[in-house]
Chain A
Amino acid sequence: MAAADIPSAALRHHDLCSRGIRLARKMRSDVTDLLDIYVERQGLDASISVAAVDGVPAAAAERWAEQSGTQRLLDNLAAYRAFRTLLAQMLEEQREQLGDADAELGPALAAVLLQVSAFAYHLEELLELESRGAPAEEGSEPPAPPRLSLFEQKLRGLGVLRELAQWAVRSVRDLRQLAKHGPGTTLEGSGTALGLPESQ
């Protein structure tokens, strides 16, 4: 059974990587469009600099090239789960601010949120395929974000989207790496990966 499953697993892995890459690209494209919409609708300046936002995972990673496949998947999964939460929060805030009258930003946010969810699902599938299993999400509610002013909410949203765009680019690269090496290769260094926290 295992022998028969190896080719199908490899195909499945390849398919997941391939579609994950395309999804990440689409997400990158959509997030870029969403950023334009967001800046415009929130009355922000596109050139405004936003400092690191608490709770937003950073795409930049030291020794990225040295990471194992599983580690990459786990990092991505943690990041996208965080983005999913942040985007859901942004969507709620946006509805509170603009209501349902805004027919452009809300749907765009929802679409990106769905893509983030889909990508997280991809990552879980890949982890499942590598017999690693996706770490469970935290069962309890995430810690309530500190109460922010409206402007701070806008800035935080801008930071989330910018970081998501970065992550989309990184995810494409990560999945390419995974696709190159196949499902077996990702097991390298899995021992270190196991020690990673399951959630961020």
Chain B
Amino acid sequence: MFSGWNWAVHCFYLFLNICSFEVSGGLVQSCGHIIPESPVLALGSNFTALCILNESCLDFGNIYASQIIWKMKNKVVPKEQYREINITVSSVTFNDTSSLASPLTCNVLADGQIEQNIYGISVTVGLPPEKPENLSCIVYQLSNLRYPMNCTWNPGRHTFLDTHFRLKYRWSRESFPDCIPKSVNNSCTISDVQFFVNLEVWVEAANALGKAESDRLVFDPIEIVKPLPPHNLSVNSGILPTVLKLSWENRISAAVMKLKFNIRYRISSDTNWMQVPPEDTASPRTSFSIQGLRPYTEYVFSIRCMKEDGVGFWSDWSEEKVGVTTEDNPSKGPTVWRTIDASPSPAFWTVRLMWKALEPFEANGVILQYEVTVRAKPPLSHPPWRYNVTTTSLTLKLPNGTYEVTLIAHNRVGASPPSVLLIPSSNSKAPVKNIRTLPKDGKLWVGWTAPNNVLKYVIEWCLMSNSSDCITEWQVEPGNIQGTYLKGDIKPFKCYLITVYPLYADGQGSGQSVKAYLQQDRPSKGPTVQTKKVGKAEAVLTWNHLTVDEQNGFIRSYTILYKTVDGNETAVSVDPSKTEYTLSSLTSDTLYTVRMMAYTDEGGRSGPDFTFTTQKFGRGEIEAIVVPVCLAFLLIVLLGVLFCFNKRDLIKKHIWPNVPDPSKSNIAQWSPQVPAKHNFSSKDQMYPEGSFTDVSVVEIEADDKKSFSEQDLKPFDLLKKEKSTSEGHSSGIGGSSCMSSPRQSVSDSDEGETTQNTSSTVQYSTVVLNGYRDQTPVQVFSRSESTQPLLDSEERLEDHAGGSDGTTQRQHYFKQNCGQDETKTDRPFFERAKQIISANEEDLAGFAQLQISGQSSQPLGFELEENTQEAALPDVLQTSTEGQTVRPETVEGNVPSVDEMPKSYLPQTVRQGGYMPQ
């Protein structure tokens, strides 16, 4: 920043000089100058400048020193700092140069108003260099002959000025060219130095304000050498499997420097270096034998050197070199353990011997095979079994007993010491107690209270999982400890079953187990809860325990959370051993949402929501209501039955009045004139005169006429007309008459003579359309007049017994149902119609013809029936059409005459408007 400012000042100063040059060139004459010219000032010092006016200006411009104005940049210097030395010289003084700013100009007020510049100078402010400190040098060996020396120093404070540093060095009688730093101010490298001659070295710093020198160092450069490390390392296997010989070449001549060395080495798979004792390598050499190494182990070597007397610097470490020691006998036998499976037969064991492969530092080479010897102990007597295997397990089938297993490992060089395992017939010795576990330092520690005289311990463990079998791992520990870390890949959040067996010299203790986690976590899911039973105020919840894979830790508790749709959640803590819980005090007929959380030491996780609705009634409440109601109903029914039974006659009279059966009447024997003849009939006996006092009269209310259209009533009008126009014959209504009786017909007949006069015309029925019983009767009266006697002969009836029966039944039907619920009668009517069809085809044809003719010619005649029979009629019609297809010409061509009409009790209207008795 400072140099940039100086540059600007210089530019301005140059401009002023140009002006001055122009002035001196004749354009304008310079009126003065400033002393000193462009000074370099020490920061903080005082400074005085003089502005000297030329004599000529006094004459021509009337300019005097008293008119001078000093300015720094564009700022006027206070007049207090001015001093008029004489008429042509003015001075300005600054007590502290730090307040100075360039340019410093000398100006005058021409004509008392116009300020005119006389001269200007630039002022450079800085600091003198400080004495360079901490000078130090080091000689680097770059090759066998090149030894550049690098010196560094502390250049001191910033001077704000261009400061030059020089590294000076010389012998006492001979000087060398200075070393001038390039791009830096705190170090310099001398390309080559000469050893064994004292060299005097110092640093000189200089700028415009002064010069400073560092303290002088005098040294022999050989004392500050950092040599190159030895190279071309080679490692040779020695005669012994624990020795390797390391050789190398030094890159500095022994004539120049005697060296001492450091040798470090490590096992290839290890990162920690070991070092040969320095005193063993403190003398010049080019090889060294490293002892105490492990057999059949790969080592990495490296070496460095420095001046023998320790003056100077250590070289860097050399490149690494690898060497392998030779094989040796295995140092120990493999640790062996067994599992025994006595499941097929207690008398025979399936013994699986397993042992751990020796560690490389124990195997001392490549294990080629294992030699297993199994010796039976008394009372068993059997020559030893010997096996040579290359794997680390062996399965044997042995009779139950005590055995001694010996295991020896072999490599190329020799055999290991034997490992012995005693397999007793039973684990009768004292077991360990108080087994416990503790996660520590990322490992799982298992401890126990030891019994006495334990030879060693075997710790078995396996990872418990639902997805895989429990694969047993094991380790052997000496008998003098009471705890150890599990050696293996113990995973967090997994449950391990750990078993400790104490082994004695003469037996074995039973294993004691404990479950443990290296690290616990929240369960991976919560229990799935559901209801086992839901009552009015309680619900029995059930759930399954989380699997061991889901637990991630020891389940410490369950919490059941339940709530209604809009209610607060209620939590219930449940013992983790339970799988069922009964929620009580619930509200009846309410939807509940329940979920369950399982907690480990690290937290809990919730299972899915489950909803259920409590019942509206409690257990037995329904029974308590239904049973009494049923009993009451039964009682009422019983009472009703009894009542009906007692009043059966009355009921029968009202509901099922006895209707004389015309079919059983004997019209031939009946005669109005001879009423007594009737008395001989059984019916007369059954229904004496007095019993007919309540013969029903079917009446049609006047209002009911409305339900019949005028056309509906036409047939009745026609009937009337026909009655009036028929040759004086009154009509006797047959089958459709309701509650008609011969007697009534007789009584209703006003023209008894007519009936009596015509022997072939029998008045047998009167149809009265009226309301039922006490309803206002409608005086629609029809009278059937048949040219054929109703029951002209008993023979005819007999001939058509089936058909007659059918018609009789129909007649019964009409009689019985006129005053009853019509809908109930539809079905039986239809069925009877069917019976008719099936009974007599011929009758059917006739019946069909009748139906069709009635339908086609006088539909209104049917509507009366339709009002009472509704659906039954179409059914009948549909059935009848079949008969119609058989003989259509009969229907079309022949308008049935009265004579040709089949006999029937069915009241019908015909085209002619007459009512056709049959």
Q: Could you tell me which A residues sit within 8 Å of B by CB distance?
A: 19-20, 22-23, 25-26, 28-30, 33, 107-108, 110-111, 114-115, 117-118, 121-122, 124-125
Contact call A26/B256, Cβ cutoff below 8 A: yes
Contact call B192/A26, Cβ cutoff below 8 A: no
Residues on the B chain within 8 Å of A22, using CB: 195-196, 222, 255-256
Contact call A26/B173, Cβ cutoff below 8 A: no
Contact call A19/B197, Cβ cutoff below 8 A: yes
| Distance between B179 CB and nearest chain A CB, rounded to angstroms | 15
Contact call B171/A121, Cβ cutoff below 8 A: yes
Q: Which of B132-178 contact A (CB under 8 A)?
A: 144-146, 171-174
Residues on the B chain within 8 Å of A29, using CB: 253, 255-256
Contact call B197/A107, Cβ cutoff below 8 A: no
Residues on the B chain within 8 Å of A122, using CB: 196-197
| Distance between A195 CB and nearest chain B CB, rounded to angstroms | 24
Residues on the B chain within 8 Å of A26, using CB: 195-196, 253, 255-256
Given contacts A19-B220, A23-B195, 13 further A-B contacts (CB under 8 A): A19-B197, A20-B196, A22-B222, A22-B256, A23-B197, A28-B255, A108-B145, A110-B192, A114-B192, A118-B171, A121-B171, A121-B173, A124-B173
CA distance A117 to B255 in the complex (A): 18
CA distance A182 to B891 in the complex (A): 176
Q: Which of B236-258 contact A (CB under 8 A)?
A: 253, 255-256
Contact call B194/A115, Cβ cutoff below 8 A: yes
Smallest Cβ-Cβ distance to A125: which chain B residue: B172
Interface string of B209-241 (1 = CB under 8 A from A): 000000000001010000000000000000000
CA distance A107 to B146 in the complex (A): 8
| Distance between B715 CB and nearest chain A CB, rounded to angstroms | 148
Residues on the A chain within 8 Å of B144, using CB: 33
Question: Assuming A29-B253, A29-B255, is B145 touching A117 (CB within 8 A)?
Answer: no
Label chain A's interface by main secondary structure: helix
| Distance between B650 CB and nearest chain A CB, rounded to angstroms | 152
- Interface centre among A28, A33, A107, A118, by most chain B C-beta atoms within 10 angstroms, is A118
| Distance between A37 CB and nearest chain B CB, rounded to angstroms | 10
Contact call B192/A117, Cβ cutoff below 8 A: no
Interface string of B385-402 (1 = CB under 8 A from A): 000000000000000000
Smallest Cβ-Cβ distance to A168: which chain B residue: B255
Residues on the B chain within 8 Å of A28, using CB: 255
Residues on the A chain within 8 Å of B253, using CB: 26, 29-30
| Distance between B258 CB and nearest chain A CB, rounded to angstroms | 9
| Distance between A134 CB and nearest chain B CB, rounded to angstroms | 8
| Distance between B584 CB and nearest chain A CB, rounded to angstroms | 102
CA distance A150 to B255 in the complex (A): 34
CA distance A169 to B173 in the complex (A): 25
CA distance A144 to B104 in the complex (A): 62
Contact call B145/A23, Cβ cutoff below 8 A: no
Contact call A30/B145, Cβ cutoff below 8 A: yes
CA distance A115 to B144 in the complex (A): 14
| Distance between B897 CB and nearest chain A CB, rounded to angstroms | 156
- Report the count of interface residues on B (CB-CB < 8 A): 17
Residues on the A chain within 8 Å of B220, using CB: 19
CA distance A26 to B197 in the complex (A): 12
Contact call B255/A25, Cβ cutoff below 8 A: yes
CA distance A123 to B256 in the complex (A): 18
CB pairs A–B below 8 angstroms (22 shown) = A19-B222, A20-B196, A22-B222, A23-B194, A23-B195, A23-B196, A25-B255, A26-B195, A26-B253, A26-B255, A26-B256, A29-B255, A30-B253, A33-B145, A107-B145, A107-B192, A111-B146, A114-B194, A118-B196, A121-B171, A122-B196, A125-B172
CA distance A122 to B222 in the complex (A): 15
| Distance between A165 CB and nearest chain B CB, rounded to angstroms | 13
Residues on the A chain within 8 Å of B171, using CB: 118, 121
Residues on the B chain within 8 Å of A111, using CB: 145-146, 192
Residues on the B chain within 8 Å of A19, using CB: 196-197, 220, 222
**Cβ-defined partner of B174 (8 Å) among A30, A107, A117:** A117
Smallest Cβ-Cβ distance to B194: which chain A residue: A118
Contact call A117/B194, Cβ cutoff below 8 A: yes
Residues on the A chain within 8 Å of B256, using CB: 22, 26, 29
Q: Which of B836-889 contact A (CB under 8 A)?
A: none
Residues on the A chain within 8 Å of B196, using CB: 19-20, 22-23, 26, 118, 122
CA distance A1 to B236 in the complex (A): 60
CA distance A108 to B145 in the complex (A): 7
CA distance A29 to B144 in the complex (A): 11
Residues on the B chain within 8 Å of A115, using CB: 194
Residues on the B chain within 8 Å of A33, using CB: 144-145
**Cβ-defined partner of B197 (8 Å) among A30, A108, A110, A118:** A118
Residues on the B chain within 8 Å of A107, using CB: 145-146, 192
| Distance between B727 CB and nearest chain A CB, rounded to angstroms | 167
CA distance A150 to B107 in the complex (A): 75
Residues on the A chain within 8 Å of B255, using CB: 22, 25-26, 28-29
CA distance A94 to B222 in the complex (A): 29
Residues on the A chain within 8 Å of B197, using CB: 19, 23, 118, 121-122
Residues on the A chain within 8 Å of B145, using CB: 30, 33, 107-108, 111
CA distance A33 to B253 in the complex (A): 11
CA distance A115 to B195 in the complex (A): 8
Residues on the A chain within 8 Å of B173, using CB: 121, 124-125
CA distance A33 to B256 in the complex (A): 14
Residues on the B chain within 8 Å of A30, using CB: 145, 253
| Distance between A150 CB and nearest chain B CB, rounded to angstroms | 26
| Distance between B142 CB and nearest chain A CB, rounded to angstroms | 11
CA distance A25 to B222 in the complex (A): 14
Interface string of B179-199 (1 = CB under 8 A from A): 000000000000010111100
Residues on the B chain within 8 Å of A125, using CB: 172-173
Residues on the B chain within 8 Å of A23, using CB: 194-197
Interface string of B725-744 (1 = CB under 8 A from A): 00000000000000000000
Smallest Cβ-Cβ distance to B144: which chain A residue: A33
| Distance between B309 CB and nearest chain A CB, rounded to angstroms | 12
CA distance A144 to B145 in the complex (A): 31
| Distance between B791 CB and nearest chain A CB, rounded to angstroms | 160
CA distance A23 to B221 in the complex (A): 12
| Distance between A106 CB and nearest chain B CB, rounded to angstroms | 11
Residues on the B chain within 8 Å of A108, using CB: 145
CA distance A117 to B172 in the complex (A): 12
| Distance between B189 CB and nearest chain A CB, rounded to angstroms | 16
CA distance A111 to B191 in the complex (A): 11
Interface string of B528-571 (1 = CB under 8 A from A): 00000000000000000000000000000000000000000000
CA distance A29 to B156 in the complex (A): 43
| Distance between A120 CB and nearest chain B CB, rounded to angstroms | 9
CA distance A42 to B361 in the complex (A): 59
Smallest Cβ-Cβ distance to B256: which chain A residue: A26
| Distance between A40 CB and nearest chain B CB, rounded to angstroms | 15
CA distance A117 to B197 in the complex (A): 10
| Distance between B88 CB and nearest chain A CB, rounded to angstroms | 58
CA distance A104 to B30 in the complex (A): 66
Residues on the A chain within 8 Å of B194, using CB: 23, 114-115, 117-118
Residues on the B chain within 8 Å of A118, using CB: 171, 194-197
| Distance between B792 CB and nearest chain A CB, rounded to angstroms | 162
Residues on the B chain within 8 Å of A25, using CB: 255
- Interface centre among B145, B174, B192, B253, by most chain A C-beta atoms within 10 angstroms, is B145
- Interface centre among B174, B196, B197, B255, by most chain A C-beta atoms within 10 angstroms, is B196
Residues on the A chain within 8 Å of B174, using CB: 117, 121
| Distance between B467 CB and nearest chain A CB, rounded to angstroms | 72
| Distance between A29 CB and nearest chain B CB, rounded to angstroms | 4
CA distance A12 to B172 in the complex (A): 14
CA distance A23 to B220 in the complex (A): 11
- Interface centre among B146, B174, B253, B255, by most chain A C-beta atoms within 10 angstroms, is B255
CA distance A73 to B194 in the complex (A): 20
| Distance between A125 CB and nearest chain B CB, rounded to angstroms | 7
| Distance between B408 CB and nearest chain A CB, rounded to angstroms | 60
Smallest Cβ-Cβ distance to B199: which chain A residue: A118
